[in-house]
Structure 1
Amino acid sequence: MSDRPISPEERIRDSVTDGIVIPPEARSDSLSWTGEMRATLSLAWPLVFTQLAQFSLNITDVIMMGWLGRDFLAAGSLASALLHPLLLFGIGSLSAVAPMVAHAIGSGEPTSVRRTARQGIWVAFLLAAILMLIIFQAETIFLATGQQPEIAALSQSYLDFAAFSLFPAIGFIAMRSLTSAHGETKIVLGVTILSFFVNFAGNYALMFGHFGFPRLELAGAGISTSVVNFFVFGFMLVYVGRRRTYAAYDLFARFWRPDWPRFREILRIGIPIGFMVMVEVGLFSAATMLMGWLGTDELAAHTVAMQCAALAFMVPLGLGQAATIRIGLAYGRRAMDGIRRAGWVSIGLGVGFMAITCSLFLTIPHHLIELFLDPLDPVNTVPIALAVSYLAFAGLFQLVDGLQAVTSSALRGLGDTRGPMMIAVFGYWVCGLPTSYILGFVVGWRGTGIWIGLAIGLAVTGLILAHRFWNRERLGLLKYGMSAA
């Protein structure tokens, strides 16, 4: 035998069994707690940085909208309040692909992998078409909810073009789920980082009229958003189509042939995930609408604080994606200890990170806020002062925000989606939003009251989800006999 070192790519290829590529994580025996932490971090760190890079696209848009002026920043925030819940509903629905592919890999079923990934793109087509119809009516929706007419019109100018980003953004999740379940997360990180530069260049040219392009302001940001999402999705299609790792699946042969049973299965599992994500993001969007009732200063300050909180959230979100895959692989192998270790390791990492961001929000708020608003501009004096107080409450709910993010993903790895959806509806819309309204407008605490309501909604949801994962066996979430290995 040759003493030549075996590359990671060859190790993956050599593990092909009956036409399916089995990642090392799916074939290993149950790991120790330390081993599980290493495996989770190895899978998670590219996903975390991918989430940060994807969020940087949005945060770049927000910063550059702030360069246009306070009204443009407020309009961009209002547009995001509608676009992001709908987009994340679609992305959440396609998140069903990750546990389904992981289960199939753990069980050694290559045909199931192919069917799931292919029909994931079909589902993306359907959801994007439906969601675009809503986006094109954004200005009417904003006016009906009492928003300022000039801000509503500016928001629509962005959304008219950003709506076309929905299909590639949702379809990308199907390809990302396929590659991540095979342990290939660095390629997703690489293309996402590249997309940041594409987005920045597009914004710079189209929003401000550089390089010979017309000055399109928010419309230019919308065009750039759609272009970068088509770039990322197209890149992943080419990568999966040409990569030897996925050749056994023959993903794109007879692509237009329907597979209605698998199509419906993705919707059955994914729609509750999508609704859960949407009701969470919808809580924050509703809070943005409430802030719009208070005035432009409050809305701008809320936008800045929300961007800081959302940036921190990307880390537990990436850890949650790793938890879904790790638990899905263990569930496919029917390894009870693997499920337990993967779940609690991910939860501990997520909550631990959010403890760090909590301390940052409470100790250096001005440094964070001044990334978005120029402190030398007198018009920003009030928004900056408001943002400091809002960011303090954002710091307080960091721990429970990380808890709910990772535990919901851990349950998703078990195929448990309907229960968490109902928990989210209760926590966010029965507890959180009414509290925001009562404290903000009835009690008269204005923006501070709205943020306290957000914290209560996240706390209720996170604690109930953690209780559900803790009692997963008693609640019957493990649908077949599990081994201890």
Structure 2
Amino acid sequence: MPTPVHRFTADARRILTLAWPVIVGQLAVLAFGTLDTVLLARHATADLAALAVGGSAYIIVFIGLMGVVTAVSPIVGRLHGAGRHAEAGRQLWQALWLAGGLTGIGALALLWPDALLRASRLSPALDTQVRTYLAWLALALPAALGFAAFRGFSNAISRPRVVMRLQLGGLALKAPLAWALVGGVPALGVPALGITGCGISTVVAFWAQALAAIWLARRDPQHHRHALGARGAWRPDPAALKALLRLGIPMGAGIAVEITGFAAMALFIARLGETAVAGHQIATNLVGLLFMLPLGLSHGTAALVAQRIGAQDLADARRIGHHGLLLALGLALLAGGAVWLLRGPIVGLYTDRPDVAAAALPLLSWVLVFHAVDAVQTLTAFVLRAWHVALLPMGVYLLAVWGVGLGGGQWLAFGADGGATAAGAWLARWPADWQGARGFWIASTAGLGLAAVTLTLLQWRVTRRAAARVAG
């Protein structure tokens, strides 16, 4: 009889088999932002600040819409586990229809971003740069959402390597293009476009990925059993679209609250000046690199859980979810500790400007705790979605991320101005470096910690009920 250690080892191996291609692929995606950050950090501080604000505004729009589209993943995972492959293929078509409809909403928000940028109080020059960047990203949005549907489908059927190869190909295309357009190539007559060059290169890379995914879906023999080209498979199905929206809207809202609570920090930190927001951009990018590890583990764990639910093996689904949580927490502590110890040399790789480095380093003093609680809340949220539980997590994120994280961060960062209010007088007794940009990071860590504890308890309750049904 297998021991608990043997079971954990076996489940960890199953999770990691699906997780590592997701990690590599998502690192390639994050490398888009890392590449832009490094190129602009050496080009102009103003352009880097525009990237921080514009990138955060884009994330606020894109992530919520992507969350709705990727509701296809837990649905397809269950169908795949039950052996209903043709039905799983039809779900991809419904996700693509949904992506097309949501593109219009997102493009409007990016082309007219006044509501997104109001909190930043940007200078006229910086405001113009941000709006130009967002206009280019509006052109990339249809490809990004369509590819998100394909990614969710592929991960759910245990084929993440296909997505990984396409994401690496997109990075291979973007890297030389961004390098040429940001700094210019005088010998070839290419002018230095700064942040506009980042936007153009992103559009080209995203559309190349999406078109390659379409070609692959039509040609790959592995997709034949999903009957993607069957007569009528492409037609909109109101019932299927309704099911996607029923799960996708709370999923998208929860993901949007989680991500935008962090992304919106840049919009508020922009009030502190270009150096502060540039330092925050470096810290954000580094934490984003770390996040790819628990994100990959979450995708792998959730795919296996959904497949086992579809196969009616609820005990296995429950055990995989718990083992995935332990694996994510352990690896997060190791990775976060390593980055915390080496944070000085790592920041030096981003910038050679002492003022920007000085703004980034204090923010990374929270990286170990931040990354650990972020890993826990991410994995538990993914596992709950596999169980089709999305509404309660959305409420948790509203309280923890927006209330504690963003609201508390604004209070810490700006509440002590002048000490004129009771809050200001109370905050004045705290260390000075708990104010400003660091205040947002402290509050965000506390908010994610609250979400991690609450969602872990919710996962335990949901899976315990499932176990009780099996026993009964």
TM-score, normalised via structure 2 length: 0.90
Q: State how 1:122-133 maps to structure 2 within 5 Å.
A: 122-133=97-108
C-alpha distance in structure 2 between counterparts of 1:140 and 1:178, whole Å: 33
The answer on 1:146 being equivalent to 2:121 is yes
Would the aligned equivalents of 1:404 and 1:461 in 2 still touch at CA under 8 Å?
yes
Secondary structure, counterpart of 2:462 in structure 1:
coil
Aligned to 1:188: 163
> CA offset at residue 321 of structure 1?
0.8
Secondary structure, counterpart of 2:213 in structure 1:
helix
Aligned to 1:358: 336
Aligned to 2:11: 36
Aligned to 2:94: 119
Aligned length, in residue pairs: 447
Secondary structure, counterpart of 1:415 in structure 2:
coil
Secondary structure, counterpart of 1:472 in structure 2:
helix
2:369 maps to a residue whose letter is L
C-alpha distance in structure 1 between counterparts of 2:355 and 2:190, whole Å: 35
Q: Which runs of 5+ in 2 are unaligned?
A: 1-5, 416-426, 429-434
The answer on 1:440 being equivalent to 2:413 is yes
Would the aligned equivalents of 1:139 and 1:152 in 2 still touch at CA under 8 Å?
no
C-alpha distance in structure 2 between counterparts of 1:408 and 1:151, whole Å: 36
> CA offset at residue 235 of structure 1?
1.1
2:226 maps to a residue whose letter is Y
Aligned to 2:142: 167
Aligned to 1:472: 462
* Deviations, residues 341-395 of structure 1 (Å, cap 9, x unaligned): 2112211221112112321232121111112111xxxxx3222112111011233
The change in CA–CA distance for 1:261 and 1:240 in structure 2 (over 3 A counts) is same
Q: State how 1:144-293 maps to structure 2 within 5 Å.
A: 145-210=120-185, 211-253=188-230, 254=232, 257-293=235-271
Aligned to 2:70: 95
> CA offset at residue 149 of structure 1?
2.2
> CA offset at residue 480 of structure 1?
10
The change in CA–CA distance for 1:356 and 1:32 in structure 2 (over 3 A counts) is closer
2:10 maps to a residue whose letter is G
Secondary structure, counterpart of 2:159 in structure 1:
coil
The answer on 1:459 being equivalent to 2:466 is no
> CA offset at residue 147 of structure 1?
2.3
> CA offset at residue 468 of structure 1?
0.5
* Deviations, residues 381-430 of structure 1 (Å, cap 9, x unaligned): 22211211101123331110110111101111111111111111111112
Would the aligned equivalents of 2:57 and 2:264 in 1 still touch at CA under 8 Å?
no
Would the aligned equivalents of 1:292 and 1:299 in 2 still touch at CA under 8 Å?
yes
1:370 maps to a residue whose letter is G
The answer on 1:338 being equivalent to 2:316 is yes
Would the aligned equivalents of 2:63 and 2:256 in 1 still touch at CA under 8 Å?
yes
> CA offset at residue 333 of structure 1?
1.5
C-alpha distance in structure 2 between counterparts of 1:45 and 1:106, whole Å: 21
Secondary structure, counterpart of 1:386 in structure 2:
helix
2:28 to 43, 48, 53: 53
> CA offset at residue 197 of structure 1?
1.4
C-alpha distance in structure 2 between counterparts of 1:471 and 1:480, whole Å: 11
* Deviates most, 268-277 or 171-180: 171-180
Secondary structure, counterpart of 1:334 in structure 2:
coil
1:428 to 401, 407, 422: 401
The change in CA–CA distance for 1:336 and 1:144 in structure 2 (over 3 A counts) is closer
The answer on 1:397 being equivalent to 2:397 is no
> CA offset at residue 72 of structure 1?
0.5
C-alpha distance in structure 1 between counterparts of 2:462 and 2:270, whole Å: 41
Would the aligned equivalents of 1:106 and 1:332 in 2 still touch at CA under 8 Å?
yes
Would the aligned equivalents of 2:174 and 2:202 in 1 still touch at CA under 8 Å?
yes
Aligned to 1:410: 383
The answer on 1:348 being equivalent to 2:323 is no
C-alpha distance in structure 2 between counterparts of 1:479 and 1:346, whole Å: 17
The change in CA–CA distance for 1:250 and 1:479 in structure 2 (over 3 A counts) is farther
> CA offset at residue 255 of structure 1?
5.8
The change in CA–CA distance for 1:479 and 1:86 in structure 2 (over 3 A counts) is farther
The answer on 1:370 being equivalent to 2:370 is no
* Sequence identity percentage: 26
C-alpha distance in structure 2 between counterparts of 1:480 and 1:262, whole Å: 30
Would the aligned equivalents of 1:334 and 1:482 in 2 still touch at CA under 8 Å?
no
Q: Which runs of 5+ in 1 are unaligned?
A: 1-30, 375-379
Would the aligned equivalents of 1:165 and 1:226 in 2 still touch at CA under 8 Å?
yes
* Deviations, residues 120-153 of structure 1 (Å, cap 9, x unaligned): 1111111111101000112574246422222111
The change in CA–CA distance for 1:98 and 1:215 in structure 2 (over 3 A counts) is same
The answer on 1:299 being equivalent to 2:277 is yes
Greater helix percent: which structure?
Answer: 2
1:271 maps to a residue whose letter is I
C-alpha distance in structure 2 between counterparts of 1:315 and 1:134, whole Å: 31
The change in CA–CA distance for 1:256 and 1:116 in structure 2 (over 3 A counts) is closer
> CA offset at residue 473 of structure 1?
4.2
C-alpha distance in structure 1 between counterparts of 2:239 and 2:299, whole Å: 25
RMSD of aligned alpha carbons? 2.0
1:233 maps to a residue whose letter is A
Would the aligned equivalents of 1:323 and 1:413 in 2 still touch at CA under 8 Å?
no
Would the aligned equivalents of 1:336 and 1:483 in 2 still touch at CA under 8 Å?
no
> CA offset at residue 182 of structure 1?
2.6
Would the aligned equivalents of 1:327 and 1:339 in 2 still touch at CA under 8 Å?
yes
* Deviates most, 275-284 or 141-150: 141-150
C-alpha distance in structure 2 between counterparts of 1:480 and 1:123, whole Å: 36
Would the aligned equivalents of 1:98 and 1:324 in 2 still touch at CA under 8 Å?
no
